[in-house]
Structure 1
């Protein structure tokens, strides 16, 4: 995450007074805040160092109760650091203890999240908050302590009156939280207490087993403990009809998958509300081992389709960082590239491959998968349209080399030159103008030329407009829908450079009116 922190903020967090002094001596500004609104005093709290807090409080640049964008004061950060000394120092110097952030979180919630026994004892002893105080999601500090994984922190809260029968706004229990933490000891602690049935459900009908499978690095041990204690695998998420096995397939962890099938007797033929099978989920995970497992198991045809006619190959191509290996395995095992999804777009796997931006995947689908480079979607657009619009010269080159037609027109009459103009990519635009397949003033169904397309973008490119004008783009053409001209469109972008360019170089009529009589 980019927090837009200056070296000073980072130095403050490190707790090094010497480094902070050097930066300030050399002109570092003190009136800086991070992207989330944290000041140097917040970062001093994060450091947990009394000397650093004292340094900034003495300077007086900020009020001790200054708030960031989440309405958190430096006290919150000090609590999270786990330093009781830092917290005590802030309180002694005027920090308010009765603060609540934008989510309803109190310092006692933060103390729970820290998992530090001393910090919890400090706040409980002070008595500023009821031990069962709830945030806006109806979570008490005990929820935070459970997620921290600290049994000691949990015991301190329970000993001091924390209720174990609490349920969050979403219907989650402490057993759900323990499962989500992935901490085996914490999970065993709550199961042995017996406060909840192992199959207790939240408002989405999800049991703790779902929570154990939600984590990116789901714990095999946690899943095993839940199954050993009777966790059911045939429960469905009320939102999308997915089962624990669907969730596990998305994690890409084969050990967990096998555990759910062998020990949990999970139904391998379960499909979610979209008709997605476990092979679809495996494709989406991009995990090679997972795909090989399901293909080898043979429960599904490699071209099994969901409700939108999408096969696992589509799923493998839906990820931002789609795996070349995953696509290769599917193709090796007979995945078809000539299937068309029945959604509003009507795309093929090759259309989807263009979206990934991966030249290797695009080549693989064409060479190994024999994908039709001229297949059209519901808008009559070929994969080449997508490649041009994305400004991907490499993809364009691969498609053209493999026979992609350049004389194509989409449902709205747009050409590849319209798409190149819309991309705003100078290199792409010059490429198509140089190819000469389309007149620079070619019109779509609405009488709009590529110049209109160049002016449609939120951040329209001055260079793209200049190239079009240099190559003869006219400014006196009118959109048949509303009689607007390129100058009307440019005026909507608010870009003065483009407007000036259209008038001086393109000789645009400044008095042209559209159907709304707007000049």
Structure 2
């Protein structure tokens, strides 16, 4: 198909979706994801129209058409799916006849539609995928020139869609990794090894595992890529949750433990631990202070248990699972993700997959069902049945999320307490935490053990030549020197490995035995004193080492994030070379790291700094977090204005790093990777120089910063720095100025100095998206900077590409200080609308900011302004339930009676929503409460239709006309009869109307029905009883001369019919305009019980309608054989002639024409019986 035609069709779908949205957007509680999807539809349409125009103008070749066709089809597919979902919601709302006003009434339908198809079919996911396809189209060579401005907008849209709250709640998830699954040809149970390589040897296949033999149940038994087939069960679990990768933490801690041979052996030999491993002890709690070595010991236990599992591998009767809590990862470490990780670990220890797990997997494949924590616990419990014993080691329980909104800790401990007795759990935590919730069987305290300190001491000494020589010299003089050294460190460590480490680092800085012995004798057991001693050791180092240590400690203390080895190396180089860098023409050289880079940096810091591997990169951290707190108090004295120095280093990096790309042709990605490798500190400097400068900087750094931001020759460097910033709103910006960047970081002092020196400033300069520096300052919440710009005559009326002024942005961010700053300037424009048509007043109402609404109205904001969909501030306030704002709008004379374009008024809304308080408010301002809508319906009728009894009562107390008719002649009482059956509230509403003078016999214009007719047609016996008790006339006829009894029988309501006959037995043979009685109706309905009841109530069995048909004729014509047979047995006249299609026909001819042998048999039987009787 021609791409041009496809795009035209897609644009039509977008228009249809926009139309659908107009019908559902007013639903209360509509998920934010729907709003975000609607917000992006104009962008989608705009991009498609640009592509359509390009195709029309450029006449692409067949090859180009083939290249873009799959992308366009993918867009079309996602949009059709989105349209399908929204249409179902719209249809359900429409079928509710105006009764569906809240999302809770539609949520189940939405879930029913989306959940079986999977997360990818949520509206926000469909839109994100579709925009992703559009982005691929936009960067295609054919469209690139025209659609380049769209790329940034599309990327921003994808980002916002990814951040919006899911329309159906679910854990964050990542797609499963792609592996190749080989066929298992040994007639086994279908378990595949998903890690490792396979070698062909004589006699069969041999697996060589890279790590563990990870077995997984798989549906297909063929050699295919997992991306083309169903995933293995571990892959499935990791695709529907966020994998936590606890094994990385385990390997990191084991590397630390294995540096000292024999570490932790004492812990493994403890009676309590032995009883936990081999005995009856189920829950063991190990507690200790921070720095005592709990995590390392937990890892040693896990390693020991894994070896135990390997020794018993043939029996597969033990398994070891583990969890490492981390306060920095609480967002990812949700209960579902933890349970999923435990299940994956258990499966990888298993030989087979349990029935429960297979069933959940198969159900997910078919229905894409969501798994809750209960399902995970069930799967873990069932999978555990093949094991004799399962160990769970949980480290750092104190770092598990325990806040009131997301109490993972409580839920996790509750599950642990309910696991089968085959589970044996070991928990580590800080002292005096959580034991009361956990209720352990045994508790033990962890302190740094002499054996571990001894092993660590030996390893530490062996790895340092100078220290080893000193210790050997001491041993030659005194054979107990080593023992004395060990005992001194143990006694001064207070049970903390951290102190032992710092003591050893302190000793390692000595150069002679005498200095070593003096330091040893003066070791402190106070952590603060140890840190002070460490700083003293740093002070007496050679100048180069001392300066390196002070600079590095300063960076680690005050940096905005941890630095890598490469980043720190380059930062220190720039700091040392600042004099040379100030010289014209000097550039920063590329970084070259050697194997000793980490040692070079950490060795001069007296043990306070260590390298920690995170995602294959080594970051510099303090050995313990307490060091940062100490150094923040004491280091600034040594560093002499660390803030200014760090700012200057960042700026030097940005200014003096060469920005020209390499000459050889490479991709943009390769160029970026090449640049990052050579200049690793550049990324940190670009993202954080302004943050450092916003701290209290001094001196020439201001001049350097202004040079970077303002000089024309630095424009390319500024652009390069901004392009690597992590904030995509900024990194994608074009045509920004240095003042925009100053606004982004809030560099008020810098710009104040520039103003004082009368530097040229374009206060109202605009980016390509028409954003001024004031837009950026407001967006980042920099009040002082915004105040400075306003004082320099910044234009408050400028609208960006989203038509938002700075005031719109401040309101959107709920920044009260900024809002009132902007409003304090008389130049603020209150009637400018953003791209959605929201004025500042409407935006304030949507945020529920009553105080701001009052302020805007006092300043003259127009309350009647409408947004792009015709909604006023009043309508938004009502829809969102903000009574205080409604009262404020009313007080400021906002219209409450003039309908909007679609006929909405506050009164009718309040009545239909049951907001009696709002009706009372409106009553107080003397508006006409009987004002009809465009169909003549009054507020009373709307209140009655939605069975809002309190609103009905308030309106009746206000003396509204209870008998006022709408355009069809219906009164509120008709409406009450019509809706009575919907809920128990119908009784209250009907009673209120009858008690307040509602006329019971009023007939509608079109059909002439009384409330009794309507109640009978709905089968509402209680309503019928109430109406009859108030004098309802059962003989009233509608336009078709039907009584209420006709209506009850036509609706198959036997009890309602009996009630009416009890009141007026003479109705039994009343005939309508076709001369049909209720017996005709019952026969036509095919309701045998109703026919029998009417016959027993003396209905004329031979009554004829206008065509001469009796109830028997009708039963025969409609093949209701049971009713026909009943009427025949009840002596119906078998000889009556009727007209069928204007042709006279006897009953016999009628039965023969229908070839109904059963009825003919019944007729013959009755005739024979009558003949016998007569004979």
Q: Taking structure 1 as the reference length, what is the TM-score of the superposition? A: 0.57
Residue equivalent to 2:997: 334
Distance 1:166 1:207 in 2: 15
Aligned mate of 1:413, from 1064, 1069, 1075: 1075
Paired residue for 1:26? none
How far off its partner does 1:382 sit? Answer: 0.5
Q: What's the counterpart of residue 822 of structure 2?
A: none
Are 2:977 and 2:1015, in contact at CA under 8 Å, matched by a contact in 1?
yes
Contact 1:178 1:190 in 2 (8 A): no
Alignment of 1:231 with 2:891, yes or no, is: no
1:437-466: CA deviation from partner (whole Å, max 9, x where unpaired): 1326x442244554675699xxx8x7x442
Q: CA deviation at 1:173?
A: 7.9
Displacement, 1:376?
Answer: 0.9
The aligned counterpart of 2:943 is: 282
Is the aligned partner of 1:221 residue 2:884? Answer: yes
Q: Give the match for residue 503 of structure 1.
A: 1156
Q: Is the 8 A contact 1:314 1:352 kept in 2?
A: yes
Deviations 1:377-413 (A, max 9, x none): 1110111011111121221121111114101111122
2:965 — aligned with what? Answer: 305
**Residue 316 of structure 1, aligned match among 963, 976, 979:** 976
Match in the other structure for 1:471: 1127
Q: Secondary structure at the match of 1:347?
A: coil
> CA 1:326–1:34 in 2, change beyond 3 Å: closer, same or farther?
closer
Shift of residue 203 of structure 1?
8.0
- What is residue 392 of structure 2 aligned with on the other side? none
Q: CA deviation at 1:256?
A: 1.0
In the TM superposition, what is the alpha-carbon distance from 1:329 to its structure 2 partner?
A: 1.8
Counterpart pick for 2:1026 among 364, 369, 392: 364
Tell me the secondary structure at the aligned position of residue 899 of structure 2: coil
Structure 2 counterparts to residues 39-188 of structure 1, below 5 A: 39=116, 41-42=118-119, 48-49=170-171, 54=176, 165-167=834-836, 184-185=848-849
* 1:446–1:480 contact (8 Å) kept in structure 2: no
For residues 125-171 of structure 1, give each alpha carbon's deviation from its aligned partner in whole angstroms, at most 9, with x where no partner exists.
999xxx9xxxxxxxx999xxxxxxx966999xxxxxxx962248xxx
DSSP 3-state at the match of 2:992: helix
Distance (Å, rounded) in 1 between the aligned partners of 2:868 and 2:174: 45
2:872 counterpart residue number:
207
Q: 8 Å contact 1:175–1:191 — kept in the other structure?
A: no
Write out per-residue CA displacement over residues 154-203 of structure 1, whole angstroms, 9 at most, x where no aligned residue. Answer: 99xxxxxxx962248xxx88976986x6x624995899599984312368
1:294 matched to 2:950: no
Distance 1:125 1:416, change over 3 A: farther
1:387 corresponds to = 1048
1:423 positional shift: 3.1
Give the secondary structure class of the aligned counterpart of 1:317: helix
Paired with 2:1111 and 2:913, the residues of 1 have a C-alpha distance of: 45
- Give the CA deviation at 1:335: 1.6
Give the strand-richer structure, 1 or 2: 2
Change (3 A) 1:35 1:445: farther
Please say which structure displays the higher CA radius of gyration.
2
Q: Is the 8 A contact 1:357 1:395 kept in 2?
A: yes
- Displacement after TM superposition at 1:287 (Å): 2.6
- In structure 2, the CA distance between the partners of 1:55 and 1:392, relative to structure 1 (3 Å rule), is farther
Q: What corresponds to 1:428 in structure 2?
A: 1090
Q: 1:348 to 1:125 in 2, by over 3 A?
A: farther
Q: Deviations over 1:488-510 (max 9, x none)?
A: x99xxxxxxxx9996231349xx
CA contact (8 A) 1:347 1:376 kept: yes
Residue 223 and residue 153 in structure 1: after superposition, are their counterparts in 2 closer, same or farther (change >3 A)?
closer
Cα root mean square deviation, aligned = 5.5
Deviations 1:245-291 (A, max 9, x none): 122122221111122343x6643342223333333333334333222
Unaligned 5+ segments in structure 2 are: 1-109, 123-167, 182-217, 221-225, 229-239, 242-330, 334-725, 733-768, 770-800, 804-810, 817-831, 1162-1175
2:1107/2:1138 contact within 8 Å kept: no
332-341 vs 421-430, greater mean Cα deviation: 421-430
1:36 maps to what in 2? 113
Using the alignment, how far apart are the partners of 2:945 and 2:1098 within structure 1?
Answer: 40
**Within 2, Cα distance between the matches of 1:355 and 1:221?**
43
Equivalent residue of 2:934, what SS? coil
Residues 233/54 of structure 1: CA separation in 2 closer, same or farther (3 Å cut): same
- Rate the CA distance shift 1:465–1:124 in 2: closer, same or farther, 3 A: farther
1:204-236: CA deviation from partner (whole Å, max 9, x where unpaired): 865342344457xx4423423443555321312
Residue 365 of structure 1 deviates from its aligned partner by 0.7
The 2-side partners of 1:56 and 1:377 are apart by 72
Deviation at 1:296, TM superposition (A): 2.2
- Find the aligned partners of 1:174 and 1:471 in 2 and give their Cα distance: 74
Contact 2:1041 / 2:1073 at 8 angstroms: preserved in 1?
yes
Query: Which is bigger in relative contact order (C-alpha 8 A, separation at least 6)?
Result: 1
Contact 2:990 / 2:1023 at 8 angstroms: preserved in 1? yes
Alignment CA distance shift 1:60-1:206 (3 Å): farther
Secondary structure, in 3 states, of the residue corresponding to 1:444? coil
TM-score by length of 2: 0.27
Which range is displaced more, 411-420 or 442-451? 442-451
Q: Give the structure 1 partner of residue 906 of structure 2.
A: 244
Flag the 1:402–1:165 CA change in 2: closer, same or farther, 3 A. same
User: Structure 1 residues 167 and 379 mapped into 2: Cα distance closer, same or farther (>3 Å)?
Assistant: same
The 3-state SS of whatever aligns with 1:387 is helix
How far has the Cα of 1:469 moved from its partner?
3.4
8 Å CA contact 1:466, 1:501 repeated in 2: no
Residue aligned with 2:988, SS: helix
SS at match of 2:113: coil
Structure 2 counterpart SS, 1:318: helix
CA distance in 2, matches of 1:34, 1:301: 44
Change (3 A) 1:37 1:406: same
SS in structure 1 of the partner of residue 1124 of structure 2:
helix
Contact 1:421 1:454 (C-alpha < 8 Å) held by counterparts? yes
Alpha-carbon distance between aligned partners in 1 of 2:868 and 2:1112, rounded to the nearest angstrom: 52
Greater share of helix residues, 1 or 2?
2
Determine the C-alpha separation between the residues in 1 that align with 2:906 and 2:1052. Answer: 40
- 1:154, 1:467 → 2: CA distance? 75
